[in-house]
């Protein structure tokens, strides 16, 4: 957090444009964004930049480039603007802007919501946007009253002359403020004067979601709307041999049967009619080589690949010598399955092809990518494809598809058709034909000295790529990406010898980032092995970790906080256990620790309580941070129980009856403590997820003496 400071307009523009070495064009003082944000027929508005519009009725519109999929980003960003603008938060409505560099995420160089970046990526530029608007409103009031600006103060969208007591609403000055030149310097508030930022604030979008006014992608209605369902291949990599659509094409309401790249689409006048006709299609498939694959054969393949050569990711010290001199060597394999994103709102997208341009209505995390790929499919320039971002019923990475798969599928269906078409995937479509968190297998070896300390750590991971970004080692481009080793590099523990390797493999199963990306699987292997090392050394798991973090005061404070919260060390009744896991989610600039309490009865376990300590540097809205930690725990528990498996190449799990997720009856009590350490501000949408599974499996060991190394967890 920065203290109050003066920022010249030139320096601010230069600093925000650089974005720490990345392209950032988010703060616009030019007329293009302002003109676009003014709509014909609306009351006069004051639009000092691309983000803020103050209307004459005293309402305020905030335009952002982030999607809200439940992470409450709309409230946090509105708080930041309201703080510097001295605006009434209740008067602010938040909208997602069009695909435009002014709204790009500087860390993605595109319009993308991911990586838990939304708040810290927009913090400085929204503070400056709000402060600029406030200064211009004060200048307008000073001109109106013919007084010195120093006499004027602001509060909750009201301008007050401190001498006379005269008042004006911000909206009363919308016309006059538009004629005020931009200030040369912008002075931000000191933290001591914050009335909103850093305080507990409730969600500003709760009412519209509770009442059903919020419009999700699946709620979109347009005149003449048709619906489409797609028959996808039963096996990944299969291709069509022949199609018999005679029955389907004659069914009531069916407008067209259309073969597209990803399968066969049926267009009808209702969703149910499209689905019933889709089910009546008779398609012969060439199922390809994957048709003989089962999860059992995949498990064996991954274990064999652990023995094969792998790309070197990181090497420090002499791990080979440490293993030769070790007093004890631990050598374990940890296995994690494919996982579905399982968003509550099934995938959907509405496309209206006008013949020379198109409108796309979709709940998406990746507006830039969707526009680019849909434009290619439709044959238009990208600026002829308008993305209208709807509220998202869950994302978790699935709606940030690297190929814009479901959006381009909808565009292919709608291309050249006279109707706007809403394509809807059923839950079964999403489970059996979607993208998955990759399956991973880890082999971890640690060398313990006579004191039980870890002298060396060797780690090899096998899994598919998700194409996030590559590493370079010894001048050669490695055939793996960060999702395979994220959380391992940089290595979080203080050990002398280290060797990290990754072995990629190729399969037709489509894979994609899943909430917390690589951290979701590497943390399970690392924190499980640390726990095993602690018990092998006859040491308390918390005390053992304290030594590993002796050179990292931030992590040590986090560990000590969660241990104190949970009364770590107190004796529990038989059948109960506590487990701890700590993780530096450096990709998100935040660190998190969990202690889980489990009860084991009749061969079944139940997670009764989770204590969470989170340090994201500074919490803009502690209420939002707490909610996200709770969400991370619940979603993370899906990784403890869920799995996607294959039989004869087909996905076995088709819906929530056999894809197990954490239900309300399974949810533990969750207690959260937020540490405002003053470190660089980080994100909170994902850091709370990685430690929860190992915390629970470590607790199961404490309660039963049984170590869980293969997920989903089974006793």
Q: Cβ of 646: how many Cβ atoms within 10 Å?
A: 21
Share above pLDDT 70 across residues of the chain, in percent, rounded to a whole number: 92
DSSP summary character for residue 90: G
Is the pLDDT confidence value at 673 over 60? yes
- How far are the Cα atoms of 87, 288, 391, 529 from residue 434, in angstroms, in the given order? 43, 18, 21, 32
Instruction: Please give the Cα distance from 662 to 637 (Å, whole number).
Output: 6
Instruction: Please give the Cα distance from 527 to 557 (Å, whole number).
Output: 18
State the pairing for strand pair 576-585/421-424: unpaired
- How large is the average pLDDT for residues 420-435? 97
State the pairing for strand pair 497-504/311-316: antiparallel
Scanning 325-451, the segments in alpha helix (DSSP H) are: 367-378, 405-414, 427-433
Counting beta carbons within 10 angstroms of the beta carbon of residue 186, is it exposed (0 to 12), middle (13 to 18) or buried (19 or more)?
buried
Beta-carbon contacts of residue 244 (< 8 Å; ≥ 6 apart): 281, 282, 283
Instruction: Please give the Cα distance from 694 to 527 (Å, whole number).
Output: 6
Angle (CA) 217-111-342 rounded to 5° is 45
Residues 113-130, buried b or exposed e (16+ Cβ, 10 A)? bbbbbbbbbbbbbbbbbb
* Token pair belonging to 108: 């993605």
Phi/psi of residue 681, nearest 5 degrees: -60, 135
pLDDT for 423: 98
Q: Cβ of 153: how many Cβ atoms within 10 Å?
A: 12
Instruction: Please give the Cα distance from 441 to 219 (Å, whole number).
Output: 40
Q: What H or E segment, with its residue span, contains residue 10?
A: helix 9-18
Q: For 213-260, write each residue's pLDDT tens digit.
A: 999 999 999 999 999 999 999 999 999 999 999 999 999 999 999 999
Q: For 273-299, write each residue's pLDDT tens digit.
A: 999 999 999 999 999 999 999 999 999
Is the pLDDT confidence value at 561 over 80? yes
Yes or no: say if 651 and 340 are a contact pair by the CB < 8 Å rule: no
What domains does the chain contain, in order, with CATH numbers?
Answer: 6-210 (3.30.365.10), 217-288+347-424 (3.30.365.10), 296-338+437-704 (3.30.365.10)
Is the pLDDT confidence value at 164 over 50? yes
> Token match 């990475």: residue?
397
Q: For 579-618, write each residue's pLDDT tens digit.
A: 999 999 999 999 999 999 999 999 999 999 999 999 999 9
Residues 333-366, buried b or exposed e (16+ Cβ, 10 A)? ebbbbbbbbbbebbbbbbbbbeeeebebbbbbbb
Residues 542-579, buried b or exposed e (16+ Cβ, 10 A)? bebbbbbbeebeebbbbbbbbbebbebeeeeeeebbbb
> Token match 């694959």: residue?
293
**How big is the chain by its Cα radius of gyration, in Å?**
27
* Token pair belonging to 117: 């970046």
Give the confidence band of 467 by pLDDT, cuts at 50, 70, 90.
Answer: low
Beta-carbon contacts of residue 184 (< 8 Å; ≥ 6 apart): 8, 9
Which is higher by pLDDT, 474 or 482? 482
Closest CA to 249 of 291, 229, 227, 278: 278
Q: For 340-352, write each residue's pLDDT tens digit.
A: 999 999 999 999 9
* Token pair belonging to 526: 């690392």
Instruction: Please give the Cα distance from 665 to 644 (Å, whole number).
Output: 22
Closest CA to 496 of 457, 443, 536, 547: 457
Q: For 29-71, write each residue's pLDDT tens digit.
A: 334 444 455 444 455 789 999 999 999 999 999 999 999 999 9
- pLDDT, the chain, mean: 92
Instruction: Please give the Cα distance from 133 to 169 (Å, whole number).
Output: 14
Q: For 301-331, write each residue's pLDDT tens digit.
A: 999 999 988 999 999 999 999 999 999 999 9
State the pairing for strand pair 497-504/454-463: parallel
Closest CA to 394 of 370, 418, 430: 430
Is the pLDDT confidence value at 172 over 60? yes
Give the confidence band of 474 by pLDDT, cuts at 50, 70, 90.
Answer: very low
pLDDT for 470: 36
Beta-carbon contacts of residue 559 (< 8 Å; ≥ 6 apart): 542, 545, 546, 549, 580, 582, 593
Instruction: Please give the Cα distance from 92 to 660 (Å, whole number).
Output: 39
Q: What H or E segment, with its residue span, contains residue 386?
A: strand 385-389
- How large is the average pLDDT for residues 123-138? 97
Greatest CA separation for the chain: 84
State the pairing for strand pair 576-585/669-674: unpaired
pLDDT for 9: 34
* Token pair belonging to 122: 């927009």
């Amino acid at each position: 957090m920065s203290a109050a400071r003066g920022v010249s307009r030139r320096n601010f523009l230069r600093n925000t444009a650089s974005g720490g070495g990345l392209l950032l064009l988010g703060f616009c003082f030019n007329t293009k964004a302002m003109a676009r944000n003014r709509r014909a027929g609306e009351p006069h508005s004051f639009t000092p930049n691309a983000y803020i519009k103050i209307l004459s009725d005293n309402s305020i519109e905030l335009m952002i480039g982030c999607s809200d999929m439940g992470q409450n980003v709309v409230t946090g960003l509105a708080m930041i603007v309201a703080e510097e603008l001295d605006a009434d938060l209740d008067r602010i409505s938040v909208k997602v802007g069009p695909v435009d560099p002014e709204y790009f995420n500087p860390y993605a160089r595109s319009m993308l919501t991911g990586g838990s970046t939304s708040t810290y990526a927009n913090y400085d530029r929204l503070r400056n946007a709000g402060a600029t608007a406030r200064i211009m409103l004060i200048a307008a009031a000073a001109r109106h009253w013919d007084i010195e600006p120093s006499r004027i103060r602001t509060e909750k969208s009201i301008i007050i002359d401190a001498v006379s007591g005269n008042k004006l609403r911000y909206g009363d000055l919308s016309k006059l403020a538009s004629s005020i030149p931009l200030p040369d310097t912008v002075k931000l508030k000191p933290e001591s004067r914050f009335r909103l930022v850093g305080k507990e604030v409730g969600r500003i979008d709760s009412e519209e979601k509770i009442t059903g006014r919020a419009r999700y992608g699946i709620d979109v209605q347009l005149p003449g709307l048709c619906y489409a369902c797609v028959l996808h291949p039963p096996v990944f990599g299969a291709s069509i041999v022949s199609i018999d659509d005679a029955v389907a094409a004659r069914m009531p309401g069916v407008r067209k049967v259309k073969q597209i790249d990803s399968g066969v689409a049926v267009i009808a006048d209702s969703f149910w009619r499209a689905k019933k006709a889709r089910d009546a299609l008779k398609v012969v498939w060439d199922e390809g080589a994957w048709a003989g694959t089962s999860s059992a054969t995949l498990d064996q393949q991954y274990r064999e690949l652990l023995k094969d050569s792998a790309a070197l990711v990181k090497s420090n010290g002499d791990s080979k010598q440490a293993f030769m001199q070790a007093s004890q060597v631990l050598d374990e394999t940890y296995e994690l399955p494919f996982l579905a994103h399982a968003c509550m709102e099934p995938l959907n997208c509405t496309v209206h092809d006008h013949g020379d341009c198109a409108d796309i209505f979709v709940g998406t995390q990746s507006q830039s990518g969707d526009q680019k790929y849909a434009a290619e499919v439709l044959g238009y320039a990208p600026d002829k494809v308008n993305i209208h971002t709807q509220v998202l019923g869950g994302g978790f990475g699935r709606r940030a598809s690297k190929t814009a798969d479901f959006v381009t599928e909808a565009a292919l269906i709608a291309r050249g058709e006279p109707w706007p078409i809403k394509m809807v995937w059923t839950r079964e479509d999403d489970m059996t034909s979607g993208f998955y968190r990759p399956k991973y297998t880890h082999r971890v070896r640690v060398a313990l000295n006579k004191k039980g300390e870890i002298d060396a750590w060797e780690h090899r991971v096998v899994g598919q790529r998700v194409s996030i970004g590559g590493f370079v080692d010894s001048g050669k481009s490695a055939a793996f990406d960060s999702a395979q080793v994220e959380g391992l590099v940089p290595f979080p523990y203080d050990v002398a010898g280290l060797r990290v390797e990754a072995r990629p493999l190729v399969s037709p199963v489509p894979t994609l980032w899943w909430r917390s990306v690589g951290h979701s699987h590497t943390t399970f292997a690392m924190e499980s092995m640390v726990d095993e090392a602690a018990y092998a050394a006859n040491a308390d798991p918390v005390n053992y970790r304290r030594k590993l973090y002796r050179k990292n005061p931030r992590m040590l404070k986090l560990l000590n906080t969660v241990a104190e919260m949970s009364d770590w060390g107190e004796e529990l009744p038989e059948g109960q256990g506590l487990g701890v896991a700590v993780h530096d989610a450096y990709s998100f600039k935040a660190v998190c620790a969990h202690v889980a309490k489990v009860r084991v009865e009749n061969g079944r376990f139940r997670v009764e309580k989770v204590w969470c300590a989170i340090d994201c540097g500074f919490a803009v809205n502690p209420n939002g941070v707490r909610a996200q930690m709770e969400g991370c725990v619940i979603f993370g528990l899906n990784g403890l129980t869920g799995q996607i498996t294959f039989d004869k190449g087909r996905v076995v799990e088709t819906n929530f009856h056999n894809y197990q997720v954490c239900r309300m009856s399974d949810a533990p009590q969750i207690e959260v403590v937020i540490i405002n350490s003053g470190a660089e501000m980080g994100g909170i949408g994902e850091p709370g997820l990685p430690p929860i599974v190992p915390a629970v499996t470590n607790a199961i060991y404490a309660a039963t003496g049984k170590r869980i190394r293969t997920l989903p967890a089974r006793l």
